[in-house]
Amino acid sequence: MENSLPAPRHDWTVDEAVEVLERPLNDLLFEAQTLTRAVFPANMVEGAQLLSIKTGACPEDCAYCPQSAQYNTGLQPERLMETADIVAAAKDAKANGATRFCMGAAWRSPSDSQVDAVSEAVTEVRSLGLETCVTLGMLTETQAGRLADAGLDFYNHNLDTSPEFYGTVITTRTYDDRLDTLSNCRTAGLKLCAGGIVGMGESRRDRAGLLTQLAALDPHPESVPINLLVKVPGTPLANADELGGIELVRTIATARLMMPRSVVRLSAGREGMSEELHALCFQAGANSIFLGDRLLTTDNPGDDTDRHLLDSMGVALADSPIAASHSHT
């Protein structure tokens, strides 16, 4: 099976991605699951945990985000957490089965002193034996290097949607700004966690456009989170039309086929998903989830719910970070 794996492609067109998205669902699921098993351990998902280490008062206007200072969502801003408190949360996450600990701060672009403070926490968390990931907004190449020197494994910076739809969701940061930060992180030697959000009113072609942009990155992001919009009262997208679950499944399967060696994380929006929809997402190639009952500021199913779900499916929570186990030759 190893020799039959396709070489990673970075030249996908939007039309090609649309064609994959629109394949008969059973064919799409079969292809995605077959490829997942060729690259990753079968019936296994990675557990990560996400902590908001600095909450609210963000100057950006991302229409989905309750942390924007421009919207009244009832969220109370909080200062950057102390390193000791972050480490305590990381220890709890590891005890609950997480192998990666993700830290998020609601900044547009951090100052050098803020990056230094987060770097201290990264070093401490990594010493626990956890993979580390942070999302801090836009980074310079120097700041990315500082985080890499501290032992950071992944930097999360999502593209959110297609370039064409992007301006209807965000006006305070350009698409190129996001691509520049990803480039700075790659230059610093960091792995990338880059994905997007579905259910914001975008078209299927926009979802294809997002995946095309992600697949154009060379190498592909090691981690690709697919978030289902959480509609938070007070944000402009609070009343967005519901995205059908099958469309989410199609998006995950297409991400798997376009970026076969990436870990695809079923991220935000799981709180309202049925067990059956979860099962289809895993069948489509999702092989990572966030554990715990909170993400940054929104609800997550919680450890007991997730363990029941995984047990009912015969799926194991990986005891170490998963990665592509085959390389193309």
Domains in the chain, please, with CATH? 13-317 (3.20.20.70)
Clarify whether 79 is annotated catalytic.
no
pLDDT exceeds 80 at position 83: yes
pLDDT exceeds 90 at position 223: yes
Q: Which of 9, 23, 37, 62 is catalytic?
A: 62
What's the first-to-final CA gap in the chain, in angstroms?
12
Clarify whether 9 is annotated catalytic.
no
Q: Give 259's contacts (C-beta < 8 A, 6+ positions apart).
A: 8, 211, 214, 215, 220, 221, 224
pLDDT exceeds 60 at position 166: yes
Clarify whether 185 is annotated catalytic.
no
DSSP 3: G
Q: Which of 65, 100, 250, 261 is catalytic?
A: 65
pLDDT value of residue 302 = 56
Clarify whether 281 is annotated catalytic.
no
pLDDT value of residue 3 = 47
More confident residue, 1 or 140: 140
Clarify whether 193 is annotated catalytic.
yes
Element (H or E) spanning 256, and its range? helix 245-258
Q: Which of 100, 133, 186, 261 is catalytic?
A: 133
Q: What is the pLDDT of residues 29-76, one digit of tens each?
A: 999 999 999 999 899 898 888 888 887 777 777 888 887 776 776 666
Of 197, 215, 206, 203, nearest in space to 159 by CA: 197
Q: What is the pLDDT of residues 11-20, one digit of tens each?
A: 999 999 999 9
Q: Which of 256, 261, 265, 270 is catalytic?
A: 265
Clarify whether 102 is annotated catalytic.
yes
Q: What is the pLDDT of residues 275-311, one digit of tens each?
A: 899 999 999 999 988 886 555 545 555 567 888 888 8
Whole-structure pTM value? 0.88
Instruction: For tokens 């935000």, name the residue.
Output: 268
Q: Which of 173, 185, 186, 193 is catalytic?
A: 193
**Strand 263-266 with 223-228, pairing:** parallel
Q: Which of 58, 100, 256, 261 is catalytic?
A: 58
- Residue 11 has, within 13 A of its CA and on its CB side, a CA count of 1
pLDDT value of residue 4 = 63
Of 220, 203, 228, 205, nearest in space to 257 by CA: 220
pLDDT value of residue 63 = 82
Q: Which of 102, 146, 186, 261 is catalytic?
A: 102
Q: Give 322's contacts (C-beta < 8 A, 6+ positions apart).
A: 40, 41, 44, 45, 46, 263, 287, 288
Do 133 and 102 contact (CB within 8 A), yes or no? yes
